[in-house]
Amino acid sequence: MRRFLLMAGMCGAVSGAQAADLPFLRGGFTDGLSTSTVNWQGGYIGGHAAYGTSDMNFAGSTRTIAARLMDGLEMEQVQQISQWPVMGKVSAHGEGFGGFVGYNFQWTDVVVGVELNYTHGKFGGSQTGSMSRFFTLPSGYTVGATYQGTAQMNISDMGTLRVRGGYACGSFLPYMFAGIALGQADIIRTARVFGTQVNPAAAPGFQNVPFDISATDAQYSHLIYGYSFGLGTEIMLISNLFMRAEWEYVRFATSVDTSINTVRAGLGYKF
């Protein structure tokens, strides 16, 4: 009996020692992600890919060109041909890639920062429209005129200087941002007015007068500016490596009213 009790005690001691060495019995294994707040304070850098839609309103974009072209002509004074609506809105898809660099300040769970964001890509579109009318001038000529406008805008580079604010939730950082935007674009606009002037009572040689006049205004690598805002979220993956997804709206004030909506996915590193 004494020998049996001694053996039972030794087995219990060995079992206790083995249990102490198993991490899941000591609480060393946890289910799920950690809910502790990540430290987002400091500088960071990264890259992204973007896909989006450019919305352009070409209405009136050739108006000033046509007005200069027809300055002083009777048909412009009577009919204001340069004011005719010849074009409208266009949407086109584009894609790009770029990078970002910024700095975060953190107070407990509140994160505020400033960021410089750059995207190189192909955003923009083009349109051609025309309108024709017949009318009689006080001089006696009956005019059949067509006003044709063509415009295109291609944005190759755009950057934003943002101020952003977010709230850290464990490994996640949802945020909002707003800032100023700068871009580089090629803007080409052409106005053309053509037709005939007919007056049977005019002197010979002037009874049927055709006309065809045009002018083009081309701006290459033109600096454009505007504003931006959007939403996004970041998640800390491992160590200081994080991933982000965001939506950005950019509005540019140019001769062609343009706005660009993009969705972006990126990867960054916090120092």
% helix, strand, coil for the chain, step of 5: 15, 65, 20
Tell me the per-residue pLDDT of 13-26, one tens digit each, with 9 for 90 and over.
Answer: 434 444 344 333 33
261 vs 50: CA distance, rounded Å? 10
pLDDT tens-digit series, residues 118-130: 999 999 999 999 9
Q: How much is the pTM? A: 0.81
Token look-up 């065809």 returns 212
Give mean pLDDT, residues 251-258: 92
Percent of the chain whose pLDDT exceeds 70: 87
> What per-residue confidence (pLDDT) applies to 9?
44
Answer whether 271's CB lies under 8 Å from 44's CB: yes
Measure the CA–CA gap between 177 and 164, rounded to whole angstroms: 4
What are the C-alpha distances in Å from 48 to residues 120, 131, 158, 230, 263?
10, 44, 14, 15, 10
- Angle formed at CA 60 by CA 57 and CA 62, multiple of 5 degrees: 110
User: Does pLDDT of 30 surpass 50?
Assistant: no
Question: What pLDDT sits at residue 35?
Answer: 58
Reported confidence tier of residue 177, pLDDT bands at 50, 70, 90: very high
pLDDT, position 13: 41
Token pair in block for residue 45: 């850098």
**Does pLDDT of 12 surpass 50?**
no
Which pLDDT does position 109 carry in this prediction? 95
Six-digit token string for 174: 């949802």
Among residues 102, 125, 124, 121, the alpha carbon closest in space to that of 46 is found at 102
* 37 pLDDT tier (thresholds 50, 70, 90): confident
pLDDT of residue 237: 95
**Does residue 221 register a pLDDT over 80?**
yes
Percent of the chain's residues with pLDDT above 90: 84
Per-residue exposure over 85-97, b if at least 16 CB sit within 10 Å of its own CB, e if not: ebbeebebebebe
Residue 222 has pLDDT above 80, yes or no: yes
H/E stretch holding 96: strand 89-107
Mean pLDDT score of the chain, rounded to an integer? 89
* Element housing 198 (H / E): strand 172-198
According to the model, what pLDDT value does residue 19 have? 39
pLDDT band at 36 (very low <50, low <70, confident <90, very high): confident
What's the pLDDT score for residue 82? 96
- In the structure, what pLDDT confidence band is assigned to residue 42 with cuts at 50, 70 and 90? very high
Per residue in 185-204, pLDDT tens?
A: 999 999 999 999 999 999 99
Main-chain dihedrals φ then ψ at residue 112, nearest 5 degrees: -125, 140
User: Distance between CA atoms of 12 and 17, rounded to whole angstroms?
Assistant: 9
Residue 103 has pLDDT above 50, yes or no: yes
255 vs 243: which has the higher pLDDT: 243
Residue holding tokens 């206790």? 16
pLDDT at 59: 94
**Average confidence (pLDDT) over 137-147:** 96
